[in-house]
Amino acid sequence: MDAKVLIESFAEFARSKNVDRPTMIRILEDVFRAMIRKKFETDENFDVTINADQGDLEIFRIREIVDDNSEDIWDFDKISFTEARKIEPDFEIGEEVYEKIELEAFGRRAVQMARQTLIQRIKDLEKDILYNKYEELVGEIVSAEVYQILGREILLMDGEGNELILPKAEQISKDRFRKGDTVKAIVHRVDMSNGNPKIILSRTSPVFLERLFENEVPEVYDGLITIIKIVREPGERAKVAVESYDDRIDPVGACVGMKGSRIHAVVRELQNENIDVINYTENLDLYVTRALSPAKVSSITANEETKRISVFLKPDQVSLAIGKGGYNIKLASRLIGYEIDVFRELNEYEEEDVDLMEFVDEIDSWIIDELKKTGLDTAKSVLSLTKEDLTRRTELEEETVDEIFRILGQEFDQ
């Protein structure tokens, strides 16, 4: 393979990978200089000139002519007078000899290795470019097409044919994709695995929800409304605390839009995830009240040392505060950074009620804890529910629920 064929084939491959001309020349020169060093031990006295467009390569070895008896005759950049005269009969001592080295002088094997090295260098460069590109896109939304669905992940292809990965853990539980579907997600992180960039996407990250708000709400994108914090149970429920420094802007109204027009687009993308947009405030009591919406809170007691808040509600508001699957109270706790304990307010009739802790000798303490987590702290609050409701709310076994009703019922039968 001559120099012209080698350079032209490499240049064509490099251009197909969108490698710019200066980078292409630099890689070519690096590889040829590596060949020179392998054959001549140094490349310091060599001049390499490359014209990638024409496929031209010129390598010149530059040496100074010295007397045949000179002590420097064995230096890498010196040549004896006799040897120099063989190249050009009219050379004189002290002059420089520019000796052209043909590519064939390196041997066929070295040239083949150079070709493989050039291709590998471009592939490595391509990996670096891909890694750097997506490293800069971490936290940003990208769209890609599904091309393979595996058990633990979905493989997608971007517009340039690069492989992206959406792991099962980063998918919303209600996501159902088919080959050819276009998927929106954020770039979650970029890993290097065995020298190959591995681009991980996410649809469950709070950042994904934040970027969707930026896309749908111009005031968020422009910085007129600030998203203070987002907490999510992906596909189920999310709470978004927002704030505006401009009194003329209602941050909640702007995020929801006229008749919910703005937030509906976000909800649809997130598989009908319920989104509560909350006006942020530094007033803790008011913030807790807003976070537990739609429940109406009667009173609040906060302990800043233990980071716990006791919230008292009317009996008909307890289930609203807890929410389906307990998501409302879990998200409210994460949003404000306090553990929230829900308590029912007792009316005159309920003062005759019995605290569940009175039954600790008959009902295991872990069962009582499960009941309290759902806002059930007295015997009558439990008995006011049907067995089906209690089973669904606590996920206790039916036999356990039957036993609870039997024990608590006996108390009032007596």
Domain boundaries, the chain: 3-131, 137-204, 350-413
pLDDT recorded at residue 336: 94
Average pLDDT over residues 372-388: 81
Q: Return the minimum-mean-pLDDT range out of 8-22, 171-185, 396-410.
A: 8-22
Per-residue pLDDT band at 1 (split at 50, 70, 90): low
Q: Which pLDDT score, from 0 to 100, does residue 138 have?
A: 94
Average pLDDT over residues 135-162: 92
Least confident of 24-33, 268-277, 345-354, 399-408: 345-354
Query: Is pLDDT above 60 for 344?
Result: yes
Mean pLDDT of 84-101: 86
Read off the tokens for 84: 């120099």
Instruction: Give the mean model confidence (pLDDT) for residues 28-53.
Output: 86
Predicted local confidence at residue 352, as pLDDT: 65
> From CA 195, how far away is CA 321, in angstroms rounded?
50
Mean pLDDT is highest, among 70-79, 88-97, 196-205, 311-320, for 196-205
Mean pLDDT of 257-283: 92
* Torsions phi, psi for 164 (to 5 deg): -120, 150
CATH top class, domain 3-131: alpha beta
Is the domain spanning 137-204 CATH 3.65.10.10? The answer is no
Is the model more confident about 11 or about 191?
191
Which residue matches tokens 């520019």? Answer: 98
Q: Kindly tell me if the per-residue pLDDT of 335 is higher than 90.
A: yes
User: CA 122 to CA 26: how far, in whole Å?
Assistant: 11
- The pLDDT assigned to 414 comes to 54
Confidence of residue 375 (pLDDT cuts 50, 70, 90): confident
CA angle 299, 301, 303 (to 5 degrees): 165
Residue 255 confidence (pLDDT): 93
Tell me what the pLDDT averaged over the chain comes to.
Answer: 87
- How distant is the alpha carbon of residue 348 from its chain centre? 54
Per the DSSP assignment, residues forming a β-bridge with 189 are 200
What proportion of the chain, given as a percentage, has pLDDT over 90? Answer: 36
Q: 216 vs 105, which has greater pLDDT?
A: 216
Please compute the mean of the pLDDT values over residues 396-403 and round it to a whole number.
Answer: 86
If one looks up domain 350-413 in CATH, what number appears?
1.10.150
Contact 353, 253 (CB under 8 A): no
User: Residue 239 pLDDT more than 90?
Assistant: yes
pLDDT(304) > 80: yes
Report yes or no on whether pTM surpasses 0.85.
no
Report d(CA 351, CA 332) in Å as an integer. 29
- List the one residue out of 122, 117, 124 whose CA is nearest residue 38: 117
Weakest-pLDDT range from 14-28, 83-97, 339-353, 385-399: 339-353
**In this structure, are residues 240 and 209 in contact, taking their beta carbons and an 8 Å threshold?**
yes
Tell me the C-alpha distance between 229 and 252, whole Å: 14
Q: Do 76 and 116 contact (CB within 8 A), yes or no?
A: no
What band does 266 get if pLDDT is binned at 50, 70 and 90?
A: very high
More confident residue, 16 or 283: 283
Say yes or no to pLDDT of 242 above 50.
yes
Query: Is the Cα torsion angle 323, 287, 260, 203 positive or negative in sign?
Result: negative
Note the pLDDT of residue 154: 95
Peptide bond into 294 cis (omega under 30): yes
3-state secondary structure labels for all residues of the chain = CCHHHHHHHHHHHHHHCCCCHHHHHHHHHHHHHHHHHHHHCCCCCEEEEEECCCCEEEEEEEEEEECCCCHHHHCCCEEEHHHHHHHCCCCCCCCEEEEECCHHHHCHHHHHHHHHHHHHHHHHHHHHHHHHHHHHCECCEEEEEEEEECCCEEEEECCCCCEEEEEHHHCCCCCCCCCCCEEEEEEEEEEEECCEEEEEEECCCHHHHHHHHHHHCHHHHCCCEEEEEEEEECCCEEEEEEEECCCCCCHHHHHHCHHHHHHHHHHHHCCCCEEEEEECCCCHHHHHHHHCCCCCEEEEEEECCCCEEEEEECHHHHHHHHCHHHHHHHHHHHHHCCEEEEEECCCCCHHHCCEHHHHCCCCCHHHHHHHHHCCCCEHHHHHCCCHHHHHHHHCCCHHHHHHHHHHHHHHHHC
Is a pLDDT exceeding 70 seen at residue 271?
A: yes
Most confident of 70-74, 136-140, 299-303: 136-140
* Mean pLDDT value across residues 37-51: 87
